[in-house]
Structure 1
Amino acid sequence: MTAWTDADKAAAGAGITIRTLDDIASLEDVRRLYERIWRTGATNPPVTADLLRAMAKAGSYVSGAYDGDELVGACFGFFSAPARDALHSHIAGVAPRMAGRHVGLALKLHQRAWTLDQGAGAITWTYDPLIRRNSWFNLGKLAADVTEYLPDFYGPMDDDINRADPTDRVLVRWSLDAPAVVAACAGTPRAVDVEQLRADGAVVALEVSAAGGPILRPAYGRTVLVGVPVDVEGLREQDPALAATWREALREVLGGLLAGGARVREFDRSGWYVVERKEAQ
């Protein structure tokens, strides 16, 4: 099955059409959509139409997902060094009303097929490692690999999603022809049995307490489990101090493990990063 077959199937399943964009009217629609998703207001958009226009003209990727004639999702990225080795996907967003329609998956599969057509073999992007659903989407449904923990990567962001929280991110690399990625794009996510890992001796370094806060534990051994809260975005609205505590805890535990040479092997949709050290410690 080709990458375009997977992409077309995903778009059909979501009931949308996806196309690349380069005209200024469509790019203005992208700007307005991003403003609504991130609730930034017109004076502080995540990206401007003129920048998107320049990127499209220079051969970068800009796409839109349409439900009928309505733009409901968009994604853009640019090539990274060495020249055209990989595409860096900077922003992808979907209108809230499309939740559950798998528009985000369809956009990523379209981006994968387009990138392969350009002769590049990978796509990179960043995401907030505290957001459980995004972690499962990126590491499970897409089978991307975490390569780096980036503390406060973007600095302060003035929008209603980040809410002045430090912008810690992880960088992921999506190796487009890797067997796990090919399987994921065909509908078989990269999954893991956390309970079996525990039975086999995996240790918990960070978990959610009964009150919803982080519990840090000493982590020894080869396989380490790092938990994240169910809904950190809700916490940012309801209990900003607790959300900030989670940010610090994950930076210390997951960031520390990755800085020490460990790698994220999988993410379980119940909220666990599975981290593997090079050697037992």
Structure 2
Amino acid sequence: MGQLENLSLTIRPIHDVKEFVEVSELEKIIWQSDDPVPVAHAVTSVDNGGMVIGAFLDDKIIGFQYSFAGFNGINTYLCSYLLGVHPEYRISGIGEQLKLAQCKEALKIGYDLVTWTYDPLETVNANLNIKKLGGVCSTYKENYYGEMEDSLNSGIPSDRFYVDWWIQSDHVKDKVDRVYGKLPKYQEDMAVIRVKERENEYPVPEEVNTNLTVDYEILFVPVPGEFQKIKEEDFALALEWRLQTRKVFTHYFKVGWQVSDFIRSEREENFSPVYYYVLTKKRLGQN
């Protein structure tokens, strides 16, 4: 992990063309791609309701967030397209700082909604997007980007959560301020997927239940905590997790449930980690 001690980290909006070029070069490092967002596109987006925010370490850019203006026929919102941090600094909390800076700048412009997508089986992203930032989700996109060839996505359908971040809501303000209240406690009878956990092995999704819609106000959807490792070592199991979670999310979203929180299982250390999305009937977010 990159060390930030004794160095000056600055997070601020970017407007200079030279710095847009630096963002483009950083994209190539992060995603090992020669097809970053065109500089002219970023410049035009910033001039028309979008933003690019950079994280600078002693004047060297090590992270960025890129957003553009969106409209769905009803609401105007900020569409958060890319967030990337240099590989040497990925667990330094810079991603969260970039999102909080994005929130601050979006409020200045007048937005109350920010949206983005992410893979629901990537639990590091879920912990940030849902638990820490207070994003909510009731839309599931199957194979949203089609077949992707990068190391994180290759071979697996590119399913995505579509996150709504209602940045003026009490729900988001509480999450950002770490006012979590009483956290939901996992109960097995409220889990829509039963998980088989073998010691020192990865969890396996077994029984799927799409009928838990009457008796409960809260449901739990388990996901494995090491999806990329599972994909490397047991591709069939990774695909099974994708298809089983797709089945339950698409069903429960369709009948009115919403992802509103994210918690970790209380398990012994010799079990592979399991996390739980919390589904509620109460619509959290927009006040």
Task: Give TM class, smaller chain.
Answer: 0.7 to 0.9
One-letter code aligned to 2:32: R
Q: Is the 8 A contact 1:74 1:94 kept in 2?
A: yes
* CA displacement at 1:276 relative to structure 2: 3.0
Displacement of 1:137 in angstroms is: 0.9
Residues 79-118 of structure 1 deviation map (CA, whole Å, 9 limit, x = unaligned): 1115883211011111121133210111011100111111
Aligned residues: 262
Q: Does 1:228 align with 2:223?
A: yes
For residues 277 and 186 of structure 1, do their structure 2 counterparts lie closer, same or farther at Cα, with a shift above 3 Å needed?
Answer: closer
Q: Deviations over 1:16-61 (max 9, x none)?
A: 2112123332112212222222223x2x33x222321221233311
Find the counterpart in structure 1 of residue 234 from structure 2: 239
- Structure 2 SS opposite 1:255: helix
Does residue 180 (structure 1) correspond to residue 171 (structure 2)? The answer is yes
Q: Does 1:215 align with 2:210?
A: no
Equivalent in the alignment of 1:135: 126
Q: 1:203 aligns with which of 191, 201, 204?
A: 191
Partners of 1:251 and 1:193 lie apart in 2 by 23
Equivalent-residue separation in structure 2 for 1:191 and 1:95 (angstroms): 35
Please list, as runs of the form range in 1=range in 2, the aligned pairs for 1:121-160 lying within 5 A after superposition.
Answer: 121-160=112-151
- Measure how far apart 1:215 and its partner are: 2.0
Partner of 2:158: 167
> Structure 1 residue aligned with 2:65, among 63, 75, 90?
75
Say whether the 8 Å CA contact 1:39–1:160 is kept in structure 2.
Answer: no
Tell me, in whole angstroms, the C-alpha distance in 1 between the residues paired with 2:176 and 2:8.
Answer: 17
**SS of corresponding position for 1:254:** helix
Asked if 2 retains the 8 angstrom alpha-carbon contact of 1:191 and 1:267, the reply is no
CA contact (8 A) 2:131 2:261 kept: yes
Q: What is the aligned counterpart of 2:251 among 239, 252, 256?
A: 256
Q: Is the 8 A contact 1:151 1:168 kept in 2?
A: yes
Q: Is the 8 A contact 1:214 1:249 kept in 2?
A: yes
Structure 1 contact 264–275 (Cα < 8 Å) conserved: yes
Superposed counterparts of 1:8-87, under 5 Å: 16-40=9-33, 42=34, 44-45=35-36, 47-81=37-71, 85-87=76-78
Query: Is the partner of 1:228 in helix, strand or coil?
Result: strand
What percentage of residue pairs aligned between the two structures are identical? 28
Structure having the higher helix fraction is: 1
Q: Where does the alignment leave 5 or more consecutive residues of structure 1 unmatched?
A: 1-10
- Structure 2 CA distance for partners of 1:190 and 1:269, relative to 1, 3 Å: farther
- The whole-number CA distance in structure 2 between the counterparts of 1:15 and 1:83 is 42
Q: Deviations over 1:187-232 (max 9, x none)?
A: 335772323xx28x52342435324222233252423211111111
Give distance in 1, aligned partners of 2:240 and 2:78.
Answer: 33
Q: Distance in 1 between matches of 2:61 and 2:75?
A: 28
Is 2:119–2:158's contact at 8 Å kept on the other side of the alignment?
yes
Aligned partner of 2:88 in structure 1 is: 97
Q: Distance in 2 between matches of 1:137 and 1:151?
A: 22
Asked if the contact 2:45/2:69 (under 8 Å) is kept, the reply is no
In structure 2, distance between residues paired with 1:174 and 1:190:
19
Deviates more, 1:175-184 or 1:75-84: 75-84
Q: Aligned letter for 1:88?
A: C
Structure 2 partner of 1:272:
276
Residue pair 1:84, 1:120 contacting (<8 A) in 2 also: no
Distance 2:11 2:85 in 1: 12
Q: Distance in 2 between matches of 1:191 and 1:93?
A: 32
- The runs of at least 4 consecutive aligned structure 1 residues that moved more than 4 Å come to none
Change (3 A) 1:27 1:206: farther
Say whether the 8 Å CA contact 1:140–1:266 is kept in structure 2: yes
What's the offset of the Cα at 1:122? 1.3
CA RMSD of aligned residues (A): 2.6
Question: Conserved in 1, the CA contact under 8 Å of 2:193 and 2:205?
Answer: no
